[in-house]
Amino acid sequence: MEKDYVIYQNEKIEYYLYRKNIKNIHIRIDTELRIIISASKRTSLEEIRKIILGKIVWIKKAQKKVEKRNRQKENLNFEDGDRVYFLGKQYVFKIINDMKNYIELNNGNVGAHDCARVQS
* Mean pLDDT across 115-119: 53
Q: State residue 54's pLDDT score.
A: 97
Instruction: Answer whether 112's CB lies under 8 Å from 97's CB.
Output: no
pLDDT at 16 over 90: yes
CA–CA separation, 1 and 6 (whole Å): 16
Q: What share of the chain is helix, strand, coil (3-state, %, to 5)?
A: 25, 40, 30
pLDDT at 118 over 70: no
CA–CA separation, 77 and 92 (whole Å): 14
Domain boundaries, the chain: 2-74, 83-117
40-70 tens-digit pLDDT = 999 999 999 999 999 999 999 999 999 998 8
DSSP, res 115: G
